[in-house]
Every structure is written in structure tokens, then in C-alpha cells.
Amino acid sequence: MQDGEILRKIHLIELLKEENEDARLDPGPEALSWTLSEIKAYFSGFPTTFTPTFDRFFPSANKFISRSPKLLLFAFPSSGNAEDMFTSEGTGPRRKPSPLLDYARAHEVLLLSTQYPGRGARRNDDEPITSARAMACAIFDVVRTNGLLAFNIPLAIIAHSVGCWVGYEFLRLCQQYRTTRHPLVAIMCGMPPPDISTTERPWTPNRGLDDTAFRKEVAAWGANKELFGSLWSIYEPILRADYTMFDEYPGATEPLTCPIVAMWGDGDTRITEQMVHGWSRFGGSFELIRCQGPHMWPIHTEFKTPWLRSCVQVLERAMDTTITKT
């Protein structure tokens, strides 16, 4: 960073501190790594409106907007799923109250469930991203551009399946950027850690598989049978992109500075307890929790509800620890 740019930021910070009546607003020395827009956003207060790109990535965020959120909770869905995996309670007779949504509403949690490009409302407008790192960078860029990381607000993540590797890459970026603030907790569900070797990965890479073989591979993960009917033409390209994310992920060994809570399904025929336990190599502390159900337990109501309840308990403990330390 050039001296002239540093001076401009120092002058802007001092000017905004003088103009602002809240003496508690002091971003500290790390603000020198922010953009001028981020510095202005910090002194303007936590944003309640965002860019169109942000709304595409987090279409349900407006349901949880608060002027003073207590937690930024990023959620990363599994392959083939959309952001409503975390933000929907269902409708009609299939409606089931969500412990996670109840917790978010009651405790001013800004739930930021990610809508990956190429699915949901983005299916016809955006090309799918086939790299976990590229996906994480795209998400991080829009989060930072909208000023969310310019505030001393704890963040945590919850992720399932390939979402765990996207979430891991996202936290690596957050750690590099927020040098003095560490993520609160990472809840990693149904996925081995990012250092698992290609020879140990318990699936068949989709590159080169014809349609019949790919259907068989998708079915082995526990996909709904309805997927292979009229819906297949919609979901096949989405799944190909998502499977490429974990098939061709190069791996990583950088530890996270936050606690990791890993969860595994006792009916999962692909991802074993031992594999998930490998996350113990990556966190500041580690806890392993058993969940009921197959790999795709989040799409089964009888398994999803207790799983989300367990996630809420983890978040409550993490927040209690933060309050105690404060």
C-alpha cells in the first residue's frame, strides 16, 4: 500500500470520527487495510440495504436484517441444493418450524444462506461455478464490498457436504482479512476435511461419466428418486458443476483459528465418522456430533429438525463463551 493511500485513509477516519457523535466508533489500525467505501460504511452504521449482487447471493437476508446484528451466520448448502435448505420451513401440510430460523429471529442473527450461481432464481442468469475456491472468493468479494466485515460482529458458518469446503475456503479469506478477529465457530456437516487425498475420497469423479453412470453416482449419495424423472434436465447441469467442485478440489492444510464442530450421519454410506473426525486437525478446538439419517439428512424433515436443533445449541454455546470473555 502506498503512503498516499494510507494518508487518505487516516484523514478520512479522523474526519468521520469527528463528525460522528458515537465515540465508541473506532475501527482500529486494521481499518488501513479496508477500502475507502468500507471505512465510510463503518461510520454510517451496519447496512440494511445491499447491492443487487449481494441480493442474488443472499436472497433471504432481508428477512433477518437488523441495525445491530449479534452474529453473522453464513450457511453453505450441499450439492444440488439452494439457499432455502437453511431458510425455508416449508409450506402447507409439509411446513415444519425450523429451530435455526426461530433462533435467528429471536437473537438478531443475520442468516446469510448462500445461493450459488446457476440455481434457484439464478438458474437462467448465472453460469455455475465449478471451483470451491472460486465460489468462496465470489462470496467473500460481495460480502466485503457491501461492508459487512467492517464491523466487530462475530461470524460463524454452518455447512453441509461440499458446502463445507466452500465454507472452509471462505473462512480462510476471512482470517486473512480480519486479522484481529477470529470466526466464532465452524459447523461442518457430512464431509471429510479438505486434506483428504484423492485416493481416499469415497466417490467416483463425475468427469467422463455418461448419463447412466452419473445418475448412479448421484443416487449413491441418497438423492430423492423424483430427481431422476422430469427434474433431471434441470438438476443434471447443477449437479455436474457441484460434483466438479469436490471432485477437482486440490485440497488444503491451513488450519482455522476457530473451534470446529463436525457432524456425521449415522446412516451415511459415503462419509464415515472417521472421515469427519479428520476435521480435528483443522480447528482451535474440536467436537464431533452424531446425527441421525443418511448423507442427505437435511432434505428429510424427521432428521433435519433435530440436526438444526443441534446446530442452534452449538451456536448458543459459542455465543455464551464470547459474552463471558467480553
pLDDT digits (tens, 9 = 90+) for 176-195: 886 446 789 999 999 999 99
pLDDT at 139 (0 to 100): 97
The DSSP secondary structure of 68-82, one letter per residue, reads S-SEEEEEE--TT--
Architecture per CATH, 47-325? 3-Layer(aba) Sandwich (3.40)
- Please check whether residue 74 is in contact with residue 67, taking contact to mean a CB–CB distance below 8 angstroms: no
pLDDT at 93 (0 to 100): 66
10 confidence band (pLDDT: 50, 70, 90):
confident
What is the domain partition of the chain in residue ranges?
1-45, 47-325
125 confidence band (pLDDT: 50, 70, 90):
confident
Its pTM stands at 0.89
Mean pLDDT of 258-279: 97
What nine digits make up the cell of 269?
454410506
**Mean pLDDT value across the chain:** 90
CA dihedral 137, 134, 194, 152 (to 10 degrees): 10
95 confidence band (pLDDT: 50, 70, 90):
confident
Mean pLDDT of 141-151: 88
Residue bearing cell 485440497: 251
| pLDDT surpassing 70 at residue 21 | no
**Max mean pLDDT range (44-48, 148-152, 156-160):** 156-160
